[in-house]
């Protein structure tokens, strides 16, 4: 999964960049415009020149791949013998809140969910939510305003 994590993608024309600020991406387009460095994103759709002077065009992700933009909610599950686990309300890149889904970290097969988890925790703290003392379900303000409820059902 590519969720911008901690790397800055410097190609101002990159077709895979997020066009607005999100909890997982702390920079805006205006902050990287004018850069002529090649895009570091593995699936940039634009051709660029590599170090050996040869052009390269990355292949886009297939239609069954989705990119996590941010975690916007969390539900605590207690399973006998396994302890506490969490399911996250996932806002997908280029999709609305009506198409967000509830997923476990394991089901998304993410190599490094840390930056997204940290962004979720920081946003929750900014909204005055104490995750350590919160109830079973936590929703960030944007998800709640979009119609999501404490049982992680969406009402439109």
pLDDT higher than 50, residue 53: no
Can you list the domains of the chain with their CATH numbers?
A: 68-146 (2.40.50)
Contact assessment for residue 38 and residue 105, using Cβ atoms and an 8 Å cutoff: no
Section 80-88 average pLDDT: 87
Please report where in the chains the tokens 């590519």 appear, as a residue: 2
What's the pTM? 0.59
What single-letter DSSP state applies at residue 53?
S
- Measured distance CA(68)–CA(57) in Å, rounded: 23
pLDDT higher than 70, residue 16: no
Token couple for 121: 């925790």
Which three-class secondary structure state does DSSP give residue 130? coil
What single-letter DSSP state applies at residue 46?
S
- Higher per-residue confidence, 52 vs 77: 77
Model confidence over 89-148: pLDDT tens digits?
999 998 999 899 999 998 888 888 999 999 999 999 999 999 988 888 999 999 999 999
């Amino acid at each position: 999964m590519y969720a911008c994590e901690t790397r800055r993608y410097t190609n101002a024309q990159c077709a895979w960049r997020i066009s607005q600020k999100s909890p997982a991406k702390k920079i805006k387009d205006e902050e990287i415009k004018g850069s002529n460095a090649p895009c570091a994103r593995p699936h940039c759709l634009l051709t660029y020149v590599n170090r050996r002077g040869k052009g390269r065009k990355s292949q886009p992700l297939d239609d069954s791949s989705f990119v996590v933009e941010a975690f916007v909610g969390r539900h605590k599950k207690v399973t006998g013998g396994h302890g506490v686990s969490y399911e996250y309300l996932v806002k997908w890149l280029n999709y609305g809140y009506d198409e967000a889904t509830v997923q476990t970290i394991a089901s998304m097969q993410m190599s490094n969910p840390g930056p997204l988890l940290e962004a979720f925790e920081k946003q929750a703290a900014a909204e005055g939510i104490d995750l350590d003392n919160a109830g079973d379900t936590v929703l960030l303000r944007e998800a709640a305003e979009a119609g999501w409820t404490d049982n992680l059902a969406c009402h439109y």
